[in-house]
Amino acid sequence: MENPKKVLLINTHLTYPNFSEGLLNGSFYQKAKEFFKANNFVILETKVEDGYDAEEEVEKHLQADIIILQTPINWFGAPWIYKIC
């Protein structure tokens, strides 16, 4: 039996209340999720702002065939919570 392909979707938007709530990055993220579901992928997900375990993230990267980072550009890079990974 063929194993389904896996995609890891990482959303690293950082919320600034009343200024950047994450709706735009959430929308692109959702589009990607629907696309990969329609293509019969297993979806692995990480929302950096909600917390993560670094070792678990390593395992998710090892499982994934495709890794996508959804990020706003804040001061010419991903938000600092992304670099903390």
Partner 1 sequence: MSTTKKVLLINTHLTYPNWSEGKLNDSFNQKAKEFFETNNFEVLETKVEDGYDANEEVEKHLEADIIILQTPINWFGAPWIYKKYADEVFNSGLMSKKFLSDDGRTREDPSRQYGTGGHLQGKKFMVSATWNAPKASFDDVNQVLFQGRSTADVLIQITSNYRFCGVDVVADYNCFDIFKDGDIVGDLENYPAHLKTVFDL
Where do contacts with partner 1 occur on this chain (CB under 8 A)?
74-80, 83-84
Residue type, 29: Y
CB of 23 to partner 1, least distance (A): 20
Q: Minimal distance in Å, beta carbon 20 to partner 1?
A: 11
Compare residues 28 and 74 and give the one whose CB is closer to partner 1.
74
Nearest residue (CB) to partner 1, 10 versus 33: 10
- Give 57's contacts (C-beta < 8 A, 6+ positions apart): 46, 85
CB of 83 to partner 1, least distance (A): 4
Which H or E run contains 69? strand 66-70
**For residue 6, what is the enclosing H or E element?**
strand 6-11
